[in-house]
Amino acid sequence: MLEDLVQKNRSYRRFHEDVPVGVATLRELIDLARLSASARNMQPLRYILCTDRDTNAAIFSTLAWAGYLKDWPGPVEGERPAAYVVVLADTTNVIHNYVGVDHGLAMQNILLGAVERGLGGCIIGSIQRDRLRKTLAIPERYEILVVVALGAPKETVVVDEVGLDGDIKYWRDTAGVHHVPKRSLDDLIIAELK
Ligand SMILES: Cc1cc2nc3c(=O)[nH]c(=O)nc-3n(C[C@H](O)[C@H](O)[C@H](O)COP(=O)(O)O)c2cc1C
């Protein structure tokens, strides 16, 4: 079950934009994030949820998509995310500016929860942060960490094994299938101490 969800939890970048993701669903996903581990249990993460069409468009304009796909500027209208979660750190709620890996854990819970609900998403770290801050009137005390784009996926993503050339760049075939090369298990485990 978990293995299946993890396998299906790929980065999706094309969506059925007309399939709504309700605020209630986003709240359920944040409730999963809420329960993730947190360094010193400081729980510094805060979230802005957006399902509003116009605001979605404004958020979209601050994001960069799939850097390796040089000829693809990102999803066209109609294939854009139906919802966004902006992940913030409350800088008044961290010690020595240390958020650690809190947002990684939280996002994984959010995305696994999305996949379980037939949705999917993509973590976006390449953000014009100043523009996004202005657009959403985010107070300075909140650091913008990442944006999670969500929706009903409209693309097939498959996992391949990294080839002999060692190339880890994802790519899209002529049928539009998105391929993600992953390193093999044996390439990752550098020691097994028994
Ligand atoms: C911290 C982080 C930042 C990312 N930023 C972007 C981004 O700005 N734009 C994008 O299209 N994908 C982004 N991704 C998605 C990665 O490209 C994706 O995880 C990778 O290609 C592997 O694909 P997979 O998620 O299907 O395993 C990001 C992923 C992570 C974890």
Q: Coil, strand, or helix at residue 111? A: helix
What is the pLDDT confidence band of residue 7, given thresholds at 50, 70 and 90? very high
- Asked if 94 and 29 count as a contact pair (C-beta separation under 8 A), the reply is no
Q: Coil, strand, or helix at residue 170? A: coil
- Asked if 176 and 13 count as a contact pair (C-beta separation under 8 A), the reply is no
**Residue 70 has which token pair?**
């040089």
Q: What is the pTM of this model?
A: 0.97
Between the alpha carbon of residue 135 and those of residues 27, 58, 61, 84, 85, the distances in Å are 22, 7, 10, 14, 14
Runs of H (alpha helix) within the chain: 2-8, 23-34, 53-60, 102-116, 129-136, 185-188
**Closest residue to atom 27 of ligand 1, CA basis:** 10
- Asked if 6 and 31 count as a contact pair (C-beta separation under 8 A), the reply is no
- How far is the centre of ligand 1, averaged over its atoms, from the C-alpha of 10 (Å)? 9
What is the pLDDT confidence band of residue 98, given thresholds at 50, 70 and 90? confident
Supply the pLDDT for residue 97. 76
Give the Cβ contact number of residue 83 at 10 Å.
25
- How far is the centre of ligand 1, averaged over its atoms, from the C-alpha of 147 (Å)? 11
**pLDDT tens figures, 66-96:** 999 999 999 999 999 999 999 999 999 887 7
Supply the pLDDT for residue 95. 77
d(CA 153, CA 114): 11
Answer yes or no: is pLDDT of 62 > 80: yes
Which ligand 1 atom is at minimum distance from the Cα of 12? 26
**pLDDT tens figures, 110-147:** 999 999 999 999 999 999 999 999 999 999 999 999 99
Pocket of ligand 1 (CB under 6 A): 10-11, 13, 64-66, 122-126, 157, 170, 180
d(CA 82, CA 84): 7
**Closest residue to atom 15 of ligand 1, CA basis:** 123
Cα angle at 177 between 28 and 174, to 5 degrees? Answer: 155
**pLDDT tens figures, 15-53:** 999 999 999 999 999 999 999 999 999 999 999 999 999
